[in-house]
Structure 1
Amino acid sequence: MQPDLELVAVPRDESYKVWSHGYPYRTVRWHFHPEFEIQLITATTGKYFVGDYIGDFTPGNLVMVGSNLPHNWVSNVPTGERVDERCLVVQFDTEFLTRAIDVFPELKRVETLLDASSWGVLFSTKTGAAAEPIMREMLVAQGIRRITLFLSLIDLLVRSAAPIKLASAAYRADPAHYAESRINHVLSYIGRNLSKELRESELAELAGQSASAFSRYFRRHTGVPFVQYVNRLRINLACQLLMAGELSITDICYQVGFNNLSNFNRQFLALKGTSPSRWRADQQLNMTSASVSSDDDAADATHAQEAFG
């Protein structure tokens, strides 16, 4: 079965993406993405699939998968039931760590971990338990603290005793072959043209299907209807632009592909539970608070230095 492409939106002003999700969830399917991923299961048991590997997972299951390596975790949850949080996820692109290694020679050992992740790497439950508080703080951390937490997590993985490679030595991810599939061609097109008008009928034509067949096909592969999928990507992009603080809300509305402000506000409220202006104000308050805390820490350090001068 061909894996589906997942479009990972790492915020423009951040080095990596960290988030959590429950079960069922739209990304719970056989899929791949260019970004590296570290995933920690916090609830449920089930089967997981990494490359050509199949295994059983329980809470504490901590796995790192490399670029374009297909993967999926399927939980044993009765039909109709939901789990609020199934896992914690960290995603980052290759260039982020490659540039860091170039600047900091001490990170050279990370290259071994990145190479091993090409087949998927399973860490011990002890490492999983140590990783959980780090990843939970990463969900809310701001500024430099995000980087120190990320490095702490990577250091934990590098020093972990006897991690296990998952896929067989003969397995090789083949993203060029995956990209030939109909759904991945469509998803890639959406990602490249998010700011433009996207009509389901035109995407159906691109996929060589009737509108009704494409609608069913798209939902089966992504877990959500076409319009909902596109709106979610656009709102995520809008959040990045809101945090940058350079554009007005009206400008952002049109830049991410909405054709009127009222629909943008309505979709934003539905997905984020608040208005774009309120969301931006809350983020600015959060950033200001982090800045004040840093200033206080710096002042405390100065006073301590003077006291022990």
Structure 2
Amino acid sequence: MSTQPALEVVNVGADACLKIWSHGLPFPTVRWHFHPEIEIHLITATSGRSFVGDYIGRFEPDNLVIVGPNVPHNWLSDVPPGTVIDERCIVLQFTSAFASGCVSLFPELGFLRTLLDSAGRGLEFTPATGAAARPIMRRMLGSSGARRIELFFSLVALLGESTPPQPLAGARHQPNPDLYLKQPLNHVLAQIAANPSSDLRESDLAALSGYSPSTFSRAFRRKTGTSFVRYLHAIRLNRACELLINEDMLVADICYDVGFNNLANFNRQFRSHKGMSPSEFRRRHRENTTRAARPDGAATTRLHPVQPVR
């Protein structure tokens, strides 16, 4: 494991309060990392070792942990190399500003401030709480809009009524994002996150990091688990998915807005990452949202949520 954690770009989005997604194994973001957002992390399959700040422990299914802003963390499953797991965990991420706003608006959520103030050490709940949280978080994966916020408050209520969680990292452990970001590639990842639609060139970012192009390419792959081009494409495609879901822009306009300069290449990359065309992705998502609201409880078309790049 790298001494310094990598920066994860969560990108909750300007038109959303939180992001929830799931992933299996293998997955390139399973690494030592940090981010400014608060994270609620639920293990749904496998067991292994957990790392939160200076804590090292064991996890099993229904392991539920809240990780505070900028706290380095990782979960490493005990599975043979090459093992394929469809879903290893469900991840809920939101900003401190959103959490503070909830507490300010609803005095009944005062306990949430106390809980999150302690999350700088990482907080682990009992397996029983994790098991109770699992169906709520799974429903959140298939919901959107006000329904997702309603389920978020159901989850918060469950945590507030549960057995008090155990802190993981030592009392003296203090996250140090400024130190983490002094690492050359973390600075590069921050630049990509801030300017994903710009004309970003690997050679320019190599110079920014102080590496030669060949050294930069190897170091970037070690840190992110993928190449610079694939990483940048994934960042742009995540943004495209947000626009397809939330805006009525033409697909061609979205293509250029997120940084692709060729519509055919955009369609090809989108299909490669999502298994369908941009138009089909938009149609299915809207169909899912419409059917989910039907009073007869008709089956919904399930889509995998957009996954952020770590």
Contact 1:119–1:169 at 8 Å: present in 2 too? Answer: yes
SS in 1 for 2:118: helix
The 2-side partners of 1:61 and 1:244 are apart by: 33
**2:305 aligns to what?**
none
The 2-side partners of 1:83 and 1:244 are apart by: 30
1:94 to 90, 93, 96: 96
**1:245 aligns to what?**
247
Contact 1:12–1:240 at 8 Å: present in 2 too? Answer: no
1:79 to 71, 78, 81: 81
Task: Give the alignment of 1:289-304 within 5 angstroms.
Answer: 289-293=291-295
**2:129 aligns to what?**
127
The 2-side partners of 1:293 and 1:197 are apart by: 47
5+ unaligned residues in a row in structure 1: which ranges? 295-309
1:109 to 85, 108, 111: 111
**1:53 aligns to what?**
55
The 2-side partners of 1:79 and 1:243 are apart by: 36
Contact 1:124–1:163 at 8 Å: present in 2 too? Answer: yes
SS in 2 for 1:56: strand
**1:265 aligns to what?**
267
Q: Which has the higher helix share?
A: 1
The 1-side partners of 2:245 and 2:24 are apart by: 26
Give the C-alpha shift of residue 35 in structure 1. Answer: 0.6
Q: Does 269-278 or 245-254 show the bigger shift?
A: 245-254
1:21 to 16, 20, 23: 23
SS in 2 for 1:91: strand
Aligned Cα root-mean-square deviation (Å): 1.4
Give the C-alpha shift of residue 24 in structure 1. Answer: 2.3
Give the C-alpha shift of residue 9 in structure 1. Answer: 2.3
Amino acid at match of 2:169: A
Give the C-alpha shift of residue 284 in structure 1. Answer: 2.2
The 2-side partners of 1:219 and 1:145 are apart by: 38
The 1-side partners of 2:98 and 2:141 are apart by: 19
Q: Is the aligned partner of 1:10 residue 2:15?
A: no
The 2-side partners of 1:123 and 1:73 are apart by: 16
**1:159 aligns to what?**
161
Give the C-alpha shift of residue 28 in structure 1. Answer: 0.8
SS in 2 for 1:17: strand
Contact 1:35–1:94 at 8 Å: present in 2 too? Answer: yes
More relative contact order, 1 or 2 (CA 8 Å, 6+ apart): 2
The 2-side partners of 1:277 and 1:51 are apart by: 42
* Aligned length in residues: 294
When the two structures are superposed, what TM-score results if normalisation uses the length of structure 1?
0.92
Amino acid at match of 1:144: A
The 1-side partners of 2:289 and 2:86 are apart by: 27
Contact 2:199–2:259 at 8 Å: present in 1 too? Answer: yes
Contact 2:26–2:82 at 8 Å: present in 1 too? Answer: no
When the two structures are superposed, what TM-score results if normalisation uses the length of structure 2?
0.91
Give the C-alpha shift of residue 293 in structure 1. Answer: 4.3
**2:152 aligns to what?**
150
Give the C-alpha shift of residue 222 in structure 1. Answer: 0.6
Task: Give the alignment of 1:211-290 within 5 angstroms.
Answer: 211-290=213-292
| 1:257-301 Cα distance to aligned partner (Å, 9 max, x none) | 10111111111111111111111122222233345549xxxxxxx
Amino acid at match of 1:138: M
Contact 2:143–2:289 at 8 Å: present in 1 too? Answer: no
Give the C-alpha shift of residue 123 in structure 1. Answer: 0.3
The 2-side partners of 1:160 and 1:217 are apart by: 43
5+ unaligned residues in a row in structure 2: which ranges? 297-310
